[in-house]
Structures are given as C-alpha cells and as structure tokens.
Amino acid sequence: MNKNLDWRLGCQTYTFRHFTLFEAIEKNAALGLKCIEAYPGQMLSPELSTTAFNHLLPQEQLDALKAKLESAGVALVNYGVVAMPDEEERQRVFDFAKKMGIETVVCEPPLDSLDRVEEHCERYGINVAIHNHPAPSIYWNPDTVLEACKGRSSYIGSCADTGHWVRSGVNPLEAMQKLEGRIISLHIKDVDRQAPDAQDVPWGTGVGDVEALLEEVRQQNLTPVFSIEYEAADEEDPSPEVAKCVEFYSDVCRRLAGQS
C-alpha cells in the first residue's frame, strides 16, 4: 500500500456561516488549508453583505471570488449541499461548476433524476457526491446511497457525512465499508453522543471514532477531499476548535503515512 496519503483537507464554509464567504476563505487559509467547499446562501463578502453566494452570481462577482481564492492560495473544489430539482437548475449548477473549476457537486438529487444527473456528470467531467442529511432525507441510510449508485458512472458516489450518520443511528465505519468504491468526498464530524441532537466536538474527542474512519479511508486506498463541517450551534467563530481538528488529522496522517 502506498505510503503517501494523497488526501486534501479543507473547511466546508458552513463552519463559518456567521461570516461571509470571503472571510471564510481567509479563515480556511489561516488554518493552513489549501482547499475549500462552499455552500449556497452564505453572504459573499463584507462589501456585498446582502449578496448571497450561489451558482447564479453574475460574472463580475465570480471573477471577484476567483481573485479572492487565488490571493488566499485556496482552491474551491466542492460546492454544496445544493438542490437540483429540475433540468434547468441542473444545467445552471453544472455550468457554474465548470466555470469555477469545481470538481464535485454535493447534493441530494431526486431519485428519479439520477439518469439525467449522470449524463451531466459525464458531459462535464464533474462528480456528484450524494450527501446524507438525517431523516427525513431520502439518503440518510447508506443502503439508499449505494442503491442509487448501482451500475452508474464513477462520477456518482457518496459525500459521506459521518456526523449525520451518527445522528441517524448509523455506525459511520460500517457505512463507509458498505460504500467502498463509491466514496468521493467526506464531511467529517465528531459528535458528543449518539442522538439526533448530537453536537459537534473537536475530532478525536467524541463518539465518532474519526481515527478509525481515517484508517478506513487509507484501507480503501481513497484520495478524497475531507471537508471539516463544524456545526456547534454556540460557536460564532469555531476557529480554535477547527484548529484542533486539523491537528488531530495531521497526527493521524503522519502515523498512517509511516506505516508500510
């Protein structure tokens, strides 16, 4: 097994939802992270504090976003969680993703839309990673995600949200093992208990067994994007807690990379 872990770590900007997207990019860079996942709805910048970031922004604002990312040394690799309820919206999302150089659209598409989603993925060369919000999301159960991916292009897979699995009563390690070969990206969380209202805690301090999940990623020989999505409700700026997640991740990666 290759000793080099070709993994990427960044923040899902919902972590910094009390700030603008431009400020979230700065905070991501301050943590030493080089990639990021952005969600639709976050205010764009301090100067455009009433303009929500999404795939409908005019070119002028997209150019400003590109300049901000470049100056911060951060790559926008994932976009979501986004709704794609119909063909017109799918077209808009994929056009935007191609324009911005986004690798993966994270979404929970209607089951009856997957044939068309797959066509867009192959035409654009862009992944769709199916996310698992807790019930009543149709994808809370990894078996549903696996069935949705069955027989489809490798462009379609899972955005494994490990904290939401715990909140749904699903063992995240077992879920990842079920989805072997279909995991594209991950929303890694650690949470304080196994309950629907579980709260985020720094990686390695909760019941999510993040170390075992990272070991499983290595075992599956994946090269994913890990998005830190820290959702603790009382944390206006969770940067100190996110820094602990980064430190834990780095420690585990050093150990795993040193194994033969």
Whole-number pLDDT of residue 260: 46
The pLDDT of residue 173:
98
pLDDT tens figures, 3-22: 458 899 999 999 999 999 99
Neighbour-count burial for 37-67, b at 16+ CB within 10 Å, e otherwise: bbbbebbbbeebeeeebbbebeeeeeebbee
What is the model's pLDDT at position 259?
75
Phi and psi dihedrals of 69, rounded to 5? -60, -45
Q: What is the DSSP string of 192-211?
A: SSSSTT--EE-TTSSSS-HH
pLDDT bracket for residue 202 (50, 70, 90)? very high
Full-model pTM? 0.95
Q: How far apart are CA 235 and CA 14, in angstroms?
A: 12
Residue type at position 254? R
Q: Which helix (H) or strand (E) holds 183?
A: strand 183-188
Say which residue, 1 or 133, is predicted with more confidence.
Answer: 133
Per-residue pLDDT tens digits for 56-92: 999 999 999 999 999 999 999 999 999 999 999 999 9
pLDDT of residue 234: 67
Question: Is there a contact between 107 and 131 (Cβ–Cβ < 8 Å)?
Answer: yes
Q: Which CATH superfamily is domain 8-257 in?
A: Divalent-metal-dependent TIM barrel enzymes (3.20.20.150)
